Amino acid sequence: MKQILVISGKGGTGKTILTASFASLAPNKIMVDCDVDAADLHLILHPEVKHKYDFKSGKTAKINKDLCVRCDKCVKLCRFEAIEKTFIVNRVSCEGCGLCSRICPAGAIEMEENNSGEWYISDTKYGPLVHAKLGIAQENSGKLVVKIRQAAKELAEKQIRDYVIIDGPPGIGCPVIASLSGVDTAVIVTEPTFSGLHDMKRVLELAGHFKIACMVVINKYDLNTEMTQKIEGYCKTREIPVAGKIPFSQEVSKSIVNGMPAVEYCKNGVSEEIIKIWGMLKC
């Protein structure tokens, strides 16, 4: 089983478009959408949810007013000012540190586990999709990524799948680190801009720290050929293969509007290049 992760230094580089195309091209696979803060792979793969699970993470204080003696200790000592003078906890302000529950002389404060989101196992025309939705203003997205990565791996092993295709989050934060763990290859999608080169370098450094094999794909390469050459030059000095250069095409936007993988919708150089990139990856 080969795990392939598609990531980028920032959002909007075409990462999900490429992942959806790999889902169309790869045989006998499972897809995972690890961009739990802003999941969108489902918009192209159109999953039918088969199993839904709650994701619990972090804790919030709750005051039992029947036990509370109104001593004011929790109000005075909460550095987040999350406990109001009426002895009601402001759930938005509470950071779940647990100090109030420890210093309450009446034992009136309990720490309740938060329901922070949901994760799903779904069917698509391309195969199973494991995906998730983190709740609004909820944290621990890295923990949720670990959860769905593990669920996808177990499902792939059970069903004897050849590939796990992962749509990763952008950037270099905790969710990206959780997505990188244990993958065989990371495909880094970038654009021919100064910021695209800068962000690509940061992701390459992160992947290099974990000793993950990387390939680079330059999306819309023909919009700035000079910057494309700089990206290729940097990759050459680092001995990072450039797996492909996808040309700009308005057909890609149309494929998103029509909810189809670009490799199926675009009958031009875009689909040809994506097929070539997948040919390099599956080896």
Give the CA distances from residue 114 to residues 17, 38, 53, 119, 217, in Å, rounded to whole numbers and listed in that order. Answer: 33, 20, 14, 15, 39
Report whether 119 contacts 148 (CB < 8 A): yes
pLDDT of res. 117:
92
For 121-160, how does the pLDDT look when each residue is reduced to its tens digit (9 = 90+)?
A: 999 999 999 999 998 777 778 999 999 999 999 999 999 9
Q: Please state the pTM of the whole predicted model.
A: 0.90
What residue ranges define each of the domains in the chain, with the CATH number in brackets? Answer: 2-46+125-281 (3.40.50.300), 57-115 (3.30.70.20)
Predicted local distance difference test score (pLDDT) of residue 23: 97
**DSSP H stretches of helix in 104-245:** 141-158, 174-180, 194-209, 225-238
State the Cα–Cα distance between residues 41 and 50, nearest whole angstrom: 17
Report DSSP state, residue 223. G
